[in-house]
Chains A and B, each alone.
Chain A
Amino acid sequence: MNEGRKEIFQLVIVLVGVIFLVKLFFVQVLDDRYADLADSNSVLRQIEYPFRGLIKDRNGKLIVYNTPEYDLEVIVKDAKPLDSAKFCKVFNLTRVDLRKKFKELKARKKEYSPVKPMQFIDRLANEDFAKVQDRLDEFPGFFIQARTTRSYTTSALANALGYVSEISKNDLEHDQSGIYKQGDYIGQSGIEKFYEKELRGKRGIRFKLRDVKGIEKGAFKEGKYDTLSIPGEDLISSIDLDLQLYGEKLMQGKAGSIVAIEPSTGEILSLVSGPSYDPNLLTGKNYSSNFKLISSDTMKPLFNRPLMAQYRPGSIFKIVQAMTALQEGVITPETRIRCDRTIIDCHGNHSNEDLRGAITNSCNPYFHSVLRRMLNQGKADDTYKDTRIGLAEWDKHINSFGFGSKLGIDLPNEKDGLIPTPAYYDRAYHNKPWKFSNIYSIAIGEGENLVVPLQMANFVATVANRGFYYTPHLIKAIGRAGMPLPEYTQRHFTTVDSSNFKIAVDAMQQVVEAGTGVNARLQDVIVCGKTGTVQNEPFPSHSVFIAFAPRDHPKIAISVYVENAGQGARAAAMISSLMIEKYLFGKTRRPYIEDYVLLGKFLD
């Protein structure tokens, strides 16, 4: 019954083979359509780059925007034959340049393809573009790809904004998102990097028909398959552009930083890093040469001091010590301690102050003694163990103010600072025992402590709020949603009770009214502040000042660092008061102080 089935199998096999060959004969030999399609590749996929999101300041003033720029792209396969003499003339190239360009193109290995659009000349200048545009059809295979580059309305805020440039080979290899291709732009630092995802938008794709010569013949299927590019989201910065510009003017010729925060929200009003650079230098055609210049400058203009420069906190730290000691209950505001200058030196004329007086006079022996009471509370019989317990306890309080670790500002490269822990001293003393007398210099903000100016500004904002802070941030609203990132709407409370802040506020008010901070005194508003003079042997000390104002319902909290400018009472205090005045009143009324600051000779 199975006879003949063998033949059916043979027949089917041969039949399928014949069907394939007939079909192939039609497709390969009789029909030229496919050859033409392959030649022209008929449909060209062209990328439409999205507009990067704009950045505006808190009052709606534009800070960063986009201007168009033009790349020349080529499809190598269609570029032959090229009239190279004419090409060189139009594009202002030598023959050697041209040959080099083609060589570079083919050196792109994996990415190189003779049938895909490849970047040939990046960033034609606007004038060049106008000249070249009309003559482009003389060179088949070449076409213009438009995209945008960043522009800045002012020269302010360079380090915070960051810059945008072509994605590096390394980043490209490690990119997991699959979004970026060689030649694409990406935020490299600052806000541009931190908010890359929000700013970049989504690219669109246009399908264009081309004939055999590669000349475009309009949209493919009336643009049915095109996707439009979606612009990135606009960012509203918390920066007050006028205040920022004023701050940068004051810091001209100085190294240091200004950080001003609105205490009730954690929004950064101004973030000055001196010296800085003009962000317009790092866009467009001259990016590479300018970047080389800026990055090799010995004053390090790319070093974002407010969050990267780590200083010892100096006398300002005494306020933190005071509140921590009150919280621990080892002193009361009435506690008086004799100014015994045998262990640690002091300055000024005072002898037996209470807490308020000790802060106002910045009494070193007082706080040396306060720290001893805190670290050696007798919780263990062994003095070494006791110090260890006390220090761990102390760390907990200090860390709750945001010291010792990154605050989490919306910028990359923030530094931790340093608050020594028992483990830190174990390492430092190679596991030999240590006790209070080994580490007492942290009492007055010297020794191992390190803070960055941002942490100091955050601290004074915390004092202004009497006990809590919002993580400082630069972007107060993203896109249409109009909200900052969720982590910036959370209050962080310190371990110190709100009631214990009163004494600090009182003392800081007194510092400005009758102490070392008189240079920061303003009419019509109560300013609270504290000076700091950070030792920097053998160079002149750094001048430091923190302040907030007004005393009740504070609107601005500020920290100012001026490197190698001597006492905090001068450079830093004056700059702080000018900034506060400018922000609260819109203008400054003390030209002599402004002139003195601008002159910048603080050591005379």
Chain B
Amino acid sequence: MRRDYDISGEIDWTTVLLYMALVALGWVNVFAAVYDDSAHQSIFDLSLNSGRQLMFISASIIIAFAITIVDMRFYETFAYILYGILLVLLFLVPIIGKEVGGNKAWIGIGSFGVQPSEFAKFVTALAVAKYIGTVGFRMDNLRNQAMLFMIIGLPMGLILLQKDTGTALVFTSFTLVFFREGMSPFLLIVGLCAATIFILTLLVPNPIYLHIAIGTILIFLIVAGKKKFKRIALLTLGALIISGVIQSVDYVVKDVLKPHQQNRIKALINPDADPLGFGWNVTQSKIAIGSGGFFGKGFLHGTQTKFDFVPEQSTDFIFCTIGEEHGFVGSLVVIGLFIALLLRVLFLAERQKNRFARAYGYSVACIFFFHFAVNIGMTIGLFPVIGIPLPFFSYGGSALWSFTILLFILLKLDAHRGQVLQRI
């Protein structure tokens, strides 16, 4: 019966249109990023990134179509099996993988390489959603919570072993899904504080200043508030814990993080300190975007985003091309489209009738949001340089397919939302 069901009327065409608009814009910008004024190249030229990106886009359309004709129950039923296969693949990558750009994150299939870590995103999202959708699952149950963190922790750990810090960090965005499903905000707040302390520790050359600052705040609080023993004791204990954390973070940062990772964070805080050294990417990226002005320099008329001034031009720093050639107006359009897509995905997630689909929808939203925020944030100097792609824009097959799969599984689930029993 379900086979005859025509889903074309049920698919959320608003999302599909947003998707298509983003992919198309992404494609022409990949061309602009590699375009060479003097060479009379065609956007379809297969020796250029843009030509290959068109191949990847065509493949994405086939993938998207395939996803919509597979039985909807497949995704929930096979979530754990896919997850198992993924773990095995991720485990194998360091052993049988080939090295590209210093990272062993690729598995070769014929002449093509794929990055299992990219596909880890949707597989983990399915597994997380399935677990949350289990009958009897309670977010306030500690065992359930621990299980969830393990589901995201395993692939994250394996990807960290491939030294792909950027992709591994994407998995932290699942904590937002947990929050939506009822996790106490306390954990998120602690996480945010930890991140703030972390960055402060990098900013301040010697942690002793932070300790002094905390001591000052502590004395102020004690003097200002009620002088009850219990309150003073609690405040002092809290201050001691924070000081201890700072001391250990200081150790982690200076002895565990590699110099290039330290530099990326330092470049964020003060790119002018070494504009030709570790600040080069951020400085050049800001110059490129900043020089775009209100209307931009025009399609293919950028100067900074060509000729190596900005590194990783067609991949991680693709937003520079948009900023330079299309100015503030172009940036506004692209950011607007992303916001629209994210809000639409949230809307789709909220209207699901079972917990699996909703949790999955939120996973999609959170992963997209993380990529969007971190990638554009780093190109305009609001975030450290973390090598993750801008969805649909950055050049590369694995990433594009991974985002397409993420989105279209949600659309598929959404199209059938009327057929599932309410299980919330």
Query: Is A29 an interface position by the 8 A CB rule?
Result: yes
* A37 to B, closest residue via Cβ: B287
B39 at the interface (CB under 8 A from A): yes
A16 and B373 in contact, given A10-B343, A24-B289, A29-B294 (Cβ under 8 angstroms): yes
- Is the Cβ of B291 less than 8 Å from the Cβ of A20? no
CB-CB nearest 6 A-B residue pairs:
A34-B290, A38-B291, A113-B307, A17-B339, A27-B290, A28-B328
Give the complex CA separation of A29 and B365 in angstroms: 31
Cβ–Cβ < 8 Å partners of B369 in chain A: 12-13, 16
* A24-65 contact mask (Cβ, 8 Å, vs B): 1 or 0: 110111010111011101010000000000000000000000
Chosen A-B contacts, 11 in total, with CB atoms closer than 8 Å, are A5-B179, A6-B346, A9-B346, A13-B346, A20-B376, A21-B332, A24-B331, A27-B290, A29-B293, A39-B291, A114-B307
Q: Shortest beta-carbon distance, B393 to chain A, in Å?
A: 14
Given contacts A21-B335, A38-B290, contact A115 B380 (CB under 8 A): no
| Contact status A34-B38, CB under 8 Å | no
Interface assignment of B219: CB less than 8 Å from any CB of chain A: no
One digit per residue, 1 when the CB lies within 8 angstroms of any chain A CB and 0 when it does not, for chain B 156-185 equals 000000000000000000001001111000
Q: How far is the CB of B23 from chain A (nearest CB, A)?
A: 20
- Expressed in whole angstroms, the minimum distance between the Cβ of B101 and any Cβ of chain A is 15
Asked whether B380 lies within 8 Å of A24 as measured between CB atoms, the reply is yes
> Does B307 lie within 8 Å of A116, measured CB to CB?
yes
Contact status B339-A9, CB under 8 Å: no
Residue picked from A2, A27, A43, most chain B C-beta under 10 Å: A27
| Beyond known contacts A20-B376, A38-B291, A112-B36: 14 more, CB 8 A cutoff | A1-B182, A6-B350, A9-B362, A13-B343, A24-B323, A24-B328, A27-B289, A28-B323, A28-B328, A34-B289, A35-B291, A39-B291, A43-B275, A220-B276
**Interface residues in B355-373 (C-beta closer than 8 Å to A):** 362, 365, 369, 372-373
* Chain B CB within 10 Å, residue with most, of A12, A16, A115: A16
Q: Bound complex: CA of A25 vs CA of B291, how far in Å?
A: 12
Q: Does B84 contact A (CB under 8 A)?
A: no
Given A6-B180, A109-B38, A34:B276 Cβ within 8 A: no
Per-position 1/0 for B178-205, Cβ under 8 A of A: 0111100000000000000000000000
User: Known contacts A9-B365, A115-B303; is A14 also within 8 Å of B290 by CB?
Assistant: no
Q: Chain B nearest CB: distance from A565 CB in Å?
A: 59
Asked whether A13 and B342 contact (CB < 8 A) given A37-B287, A38-B287, the answer is yes
Interface 1/0 per residue, B328-349 and A, CB below 8 Å: 1001100110110011001000
Knowing A9-B180, A10-B343 are in contact, say whether A28-B290 is a contact too (CB < 8 A).
yes
Chain B residues whose C-beta falls within 8 Å of the C-beta of A109 in the assembled complex = 36, 38-39
Tell me, yes or no, whether B304 is within 8 Å of chain A by CB. yes
Q: Is there an interface contact between A38 and B328, defined as CB atoms closer than 8 Å?
A: no
Chain A residues lying within 8 Å of B372, measured Cβ to Cβ, are: 16
Asked if B24 is an interface residue, CB under 8 A from chain A, the answer is: no
Q: Which residues of B contact A31 (CB under 8 A)?
A: 290
Q: Which among B287, B328, B336, B377 has the highest number of chain A CB atoms within 10 Å? A: B287
Residues of A within 8 A of B350 (CB): 6
A13–B339 CB distance below 8 A: yes
Is B91 engaged at the interface, CB distance under 8 Å to the other chain?
A: no
Tell yes or no: B418 within 8 A of A by CB.
Answer: no
Binary flags per residue of B391-417, CB closer than 8 Å to A gives 1, else 0 = 000000000000000000000000000
Task: Give the Cβ gap from A72 to chain B, nearest Cβ, in Å.
Answer: 21
Q: Are A38 and B288 closer than 8 Å at their CB atoms?
A: yes
**Is A225 engaged at the interface, CB distance under 8 Å to the other chain?**
yes
- B271 CB contacts on chain A under 8 angstroms: none
| B384 within 8 A of partner (CB) | no
| Chain B residues with CB below 8 A from A77, complex form | 303
Nearest residue (CB) in B for A116 is B307
Interface of A is mostly: helix
Other-chain residue from B286, B294, B332, B362 in contact with A34 (beta carbon distance below 8 A)? B286
| Bound CA–CA A110/B346 (angstroms) | 45
| Minimal beta-carbon separation of B173 from chain A (angstroms) | 12
Q: How far is the CA of A114 from the CA of B346 in the complex (A)?
A: 46
- Alpha-carbon separation in the docked complex, A35 to B327 (Å): 11
CA distance A37 to B324 in the complex (A): 13
B276 CB to nearest chain A CB (Å): 5
Residues 170-182 of A, flagged 1 when their CB comes within 8 A of B and 0 if not, give 0000000000000
Q: What is the CB-to-nearest-CB distance from B370 to chain A, in angstroms, rounded to a whole number?
A: 11
B335 pairs with A17, CB closer than 8 A: yes
B interface, CB within 8 angstroms of A: 36-39, 176, 179-182, 275-277, 286-294, 303-304, 306-307, 309, 323, 327-328, 331-332, 335-336, 338-339, 342-343, 346, 350, 362, 365, 369, 372-373, 376-377, 380, 382
Judged by a CB distance under 8 angstroms, whether A169 is at the interface is no
| Least distance between B285 CB and chain A CB atoms (Å) | 10
B256 to chain A, nearest CB (A): 28
| A13 (CB) vs chain B CBs: closest residue | B342
**Nearest CB in chain A to that of B181: its residue:** A2
Residue of B with least CB distance to A225: B276
Set of chain A residues within 8 Å of B179, measured between Cβ atoms: 5
Interface residues of A in 529-571 (CB under 8 A from B): none
**A35–B293 touching, CB < 8 Å:** yes
Chain B minimum-CB-distance residue to A24: B331
Known: A28-B323, A34-B291. Is A23-B182 also a contact (CB below 8 A)? no
Task: Give complex CA distance A225, B290 in Å.
Answer: 25
Residues in B with CB closer than 8 Å to A220 are: 276
In the complex, what residues of A have CB within 8 A of residue B303's CB?
38, 77, 114-115
CA A1 to CA B185, docked complex, whole Å:
12
Within the complex, what minimum Cβ distance (angstroms) separates A12 from chain B? 8
Which residue of chain B has the shortest Cβ distance to A12 in the bound complex?
A: B369
Residues of B within 8 A of A217 (CB): none
Q: Give Cα distance in the complex from A74 to B424, angstroms.
A: 70
Q: Which of A72-88 contact B (CB under 8 A)?
A: 77
Whether A43 touches B276, Cβ cut-off 8 Å, given contacts A27-B289, A38-B290, is: yes
In contact, A37 and B328 (Cβ under 8 angstroms): no
Q: Which residue of B lies closest to A115 (CB)?
A: B307
A313, B287: Cα distance in complex, Å: 71
Kindly state whether residue A207 has any CB partner on chain B within 8 Å.
Answer: yes
Cα(A35)–Cα(B303), bound, Å: 11
Report whether A207 and B323 are in contact in the complex, using a CB–CB cutoff of 8 Å: no
A379 within 8 A of B: no
The answer to whether A481 has its CB under 8 Å from any CB of chain B is no
Inter-subunit contact B293/A28 (CB<8 Å):
yes
CB nearest to B339 among chain A residues? A17
A16 and B368 CA atoms in complex are apart in Å by 13
Q: A28-B292, A34-B287 are in contact. Are A10 and B332 (CB under 8 A)?
A: no
A150-205 residues with Cβ-Cβ distance < 8 A to B are none
B291 touching A37, Cβ below 8 Å: yes
- Bound CA–CA A6/B361 (angstroms): 12
Within the complex, what minimum Cβ distance (angstroms) separates B220 from chain A?
30
Task: Give the shortest distance, in Å, between B227 (CB) and chain A (any CB).
Answer: 36
- Minimum Cβ distance to chain B for residue A46 (Å): 13
Give the residue of B306, B309, B327, B365 whose beta carbon is less than 8 angstroms from that of A28.
B327
Cβ-based interface call for A106 (8 A): yes
Task: A23 to B285: give the CA distance in the assembly, Å.
Answer: 14
Q: Give chain A nearest CB distance to B102 CB in angstroms.
A: 15
* Interface assignment of A19: CB less than 8 Å from any CB of chain B: yes
- Please, how many angstroms separate the alpha-carbon atoms of A31 and B290 in the complex? 8
**Considering only CB atoms, which chain B residue lies closest to A23 in the complex?**
B380
A5–B362 CA distance with the chains assembled, in angstroms: 12
Q: What's the least CB distance linking A173 to chain B, in Å?
A: 16
Beta-carbon contact of B309 and A115 below 8 Å: yes
Cβ contacts under 8 Å, B342 to chain A: 13
Pair A2/B331 contact, Cβ less than 8 Å: no
Cβ of A207 and Cβ of B276 under 8 Å apart? yes
Residues in A neighbouring B294, C-beta threshold 8 A: 28-29
Write the nearest CB–CB distance from B335 to chain A, whole angstroms: 5
C-alpha spacing A471/B61, complex, angstroms: 67
A17 and B181 within 8 A (CB):
no
Partner of A225, one of B181, B182, B277: B277
Q: Determine if A106 and B38 form an interchain contact, defined as CB atoms under 8 angstroms apart.
A: yes
Q: Is the CB of B182 within 8 A of A33?
A: no
